[in-house]
Amino acid sequence: MSDSERRRRGGRRSRRTRARVRRVLLVGLLVGTLVLLTGGWVGFRGWQARAHLLNAAGLARELSGDVVGADAARAQRTLSALQEQAGAARAATGDPGWWLGRHVPYAGDDLSAVRQIAVAIDDLARGAFPALLRTDLSTLLPGRGQLDVNRLRAVASELSETDAVVQRTRARLAAVPTGNLVAQVRRAVTDLRAEIDRLAGLTRAADRAARLLPTLLGADGPRSYLMVSQNPAELRATGGMFGAYALIKAENGRLRMAGQGTSASLGRFTPPLKLSRDVRALYADLPGIYPADVNLTPDFPTAAALYREMYRKRSGTTVDGVLAVDPVVLSYLLQATGPVPVPGRPALVAEKVVQTLLSDTYQRLKPAEQDEYFAASSAAVFTAFFSRDVNPRAFLSGIDRAITERRILFWSARPEEQRIIGENRLAGSLPEQETVPTVGVFLNDGSGAKLGYYLRPAATLTVGECRPDGRRQLRLRFTLHSTAPASGLSASVLGLGLAGDPYTARTLVSVHSPAGGAVLGSRLDGHDARAGSGYERRRQVAVATVEVRPGATRTLEVDLLTGATGSGDGELWLTPTATPWTTQVVSAPHCDQ
């Protein structure tokens, strides 16, 4: 080949190479420009979506308050605004630019996750919340002494629709992978999951309760229940000693009180009723002997079943379930009914009823008069609630608060019903399986006195580091302060004075580890504490005796271990007391972060 031929061929290859380079550069320039334009557009839309989502979150919280407050007109306006913001967020994350951004390496996963957040909130705003607002919550209020069971069944169909949407949304959001997300987006996904998990638990429970409530109210045949009053002046793990009780009969939605009595009138049982090995190891035979001790265990189904059997043995009557309330619940209900007169005694008023029933009564009345007053008070509130026009806002708010604080508990003797109730806070049963580690702190009086009214408990739970075996260490700091006076209390309040000094409150503090977890050690006021130990519902239990003098504060610290968990959150399950606990949970990053 001549030199000229080689030069011609080389020139053609050079031109083809330059052409390819120009095409690559041109394509690169176009792609780069598109990416820059798309990135800017996605950034702008992302800023818009963030603003809409923040607004939607605030409106969702506002809507919750409107619903609980039974303000239908305001709730409808809030829902319309929520739907507008949620729809705008969905639109901002659904255009072609955002779709293209979702397929870009690295940032695509984050954009996809934000899209799923927007879709989830919009689905709830349009598919779940409207059905909730259509639900006639006045159905939950009695009219002329009766609840309309047919209307209740209509409510059940609306709640089923709501629950179906929430469960579908929950499942879709649970499928969003979080491993490669940036911290802010991952936190947003996990926080929304937690909120929807809570919402899903509520809608599932409401759905099942609405379907079950007509049957419980005697729509399919007469029912009877024991309504027991827990007395936090003498603490027990579920709230307080079972004091007075009332026999309630239900038929076709109409409730009536058919009799009353006290735990003391049921006497003692020998031989003791049968107890599980774990319960006997922790509390000896006391729950099977004394009606006032059945709830030394925090497991309400166990306590309720024992109390039902004791009542059967003494009365010959077998009831269908047990409902427990306390005077704090009465204070919430009195906000809905207004003051309630008690024959021969001062009227019961919301602001004073706890002090009246848990302090003044023991100071001013003799033991026999106390029982009569408690029975008369229960009957008066029961009658007022079913005969007056009740403020729905106050009623729903009070019931919501009481259930949240576990001051209302219910157990059905029918296994198929109890399985449904068992997933709700009303059941009062620590779960044997859990996704978020739960620590129980339960208080039982050890003084034989009524000093619980003067106790002020507080608890802080701190979540520790992740361990290689998948477990986490937790630290509980529990304090107990006594506001009791150093003198002047009546013999009814001071009781047996088992702590030696009758004004010193002796409290048995039971700390239950998370499910599948363990108690590692405990200290009382900085010194190693001698604590009894046992197991209950797959939880290790440490029991420490804490004695606190008037005006003093004692501090119990307990180190615990969770079961295998990735969660950085924690929950406290506490004995409801006469005054609310002061609590704090210090969370940590999830183990996969």
Q: How far lies 400's CA from each of 83, 254, 495, in Å?
A: 25, 23, 34
Final residue of a domain: which of 186, 214, 242? 214
Query: Are 271 and 307 contained in the same domain?
Result: yes
Q: Spell out the SS3 assignment of 250-279.
A: EECCEEEEEEEEECHHHCCCCCCCCCCHHH
For 299, phi then psi, to 5°, come to -85, 100
* Predicted local distance difference test score (pLDDT) of residue 397: 75
Final residue of a domain: which of 214, 236, 254? 214
CA neighbor of 201 nearest in space, from 506, 436, 523: 436
Query: Are 252 and 203 contained in the same domain?
Result: no
In b/e form, how buried is each residue of 118-143, taking b as 16+ CB within 10 angstroms? bbbbbbbbbbbbbbbbebebbbbbbe
Query: Are 174 and 236 contained in the same domain?
Result: no
* Predicted local distance difference test score (pLDDT) of residue 21: 41
* Predicted local distance difference test score (pLDDT) of residue 118: 77
**Residue 157: inside a domain, yes or no?**
yes
Query: Are 122 and 241 contained in the same domain?
Result: no
CB 178, CB 186: distance < 8 Å: yes
CA atoms within 13 A on the CB side of 275: 26
Query: Are 279 and 407 contained in the same domain?
Result: yes
Q: How far apart are CA 33 and CA 242, in angstroms?
A: 75
Query: Are 245 and 138 contained in the same domain?
Result: no
**Residue 421: inside a domain, yes or no?**
no
Please state whether beta strands 340-342 and 571-574 pair in parallel, antiparallel, or not at all (unpaired): unpaired
* Predicted local distance difference test score (pLDDT) of residue 68: 56
**Residue 563: inside a domain, yes or no?**
yes
**Residue 418: inside a domain, yes or no?**
no
Query: Are 436 and 476 contained in the same domain?
Result: yes
Query: Are 108 and 162 contained in the same domain?
Result: yes
CATH number at residue 262: 3.40.630
Query: Are 201 and 244 contained in the same domain?
Result: no
Dihedral, CA atoms, 51, 53, 58, 62, nearest 10 degrees?
130
Q: Spell out the SS3 assignment of 511-523.
A: EECCCCCEEEEEE
CATH number at residue 487: 2.60.40
Query: Are 286 and 364 contained in the same domain?
Result: yes
**Residue 417: inside a domain, yes or no?**
no
Query: Are 159 and 261 contained in the same domain?
Result: no
**Residue 390: inside a domain, yes or no?**
yes
Domain count, the chain: 3
Beta strands of 18-113 (E only): which ranges? none
Q: Which residues form the domain of 535?
A: 432-586
CB 109, CB 177: distance < 8 Å: yes
Final residue of a domain: which of 412, 447, 478? 412
CA atoms within 13 A on the CB side of 385: 24
Q: What is the pLDDT along the chain (593 residues), one digit of tens a residue?
A: 555 555 555 555 555 544 444 443 333 333 333 333 333 334 434 445 556 666 666 676 677 666 655 567 787 888 888 788 777 777 767 766 556 656 555 556 666 777 777 777 777 777 777 877 776 656 666 666 677 788 777 777 777 778 888 888 788 778 777 766 666 667 766 777 777 777 776 677 677 777 788 899 898 999 999 999 999 999 999 999 999 899 999 999 888 999 999 999 999 999 999 999 999 999 999 999 999 999 999 999 999 999 999 999 999 999 999 999 999 999 998 988 889 999 888 889 999 999 999 999 999 998 888 888 888 888 888 888 777 777 766 777 788 788 889 999 999 999 999 988 887 788 999 889 898 999 999 999 999 999 999 999 999 999 999 899 989 999 999 999 999 999 999 999 999 999 999 999 999 999 999 999 999 999 999 999 888 899 999 999 999 999 999 999 999 999 999 999 988 899 999 999 999 999 999 999 888 66
Q: Which residues pair with 439 in a beta bridge?
A: 572
Q: Which residues pair with 410 in a beta bridge?
A: 323
Query: Are 184 and 265 contained in the same domain?
Result: no
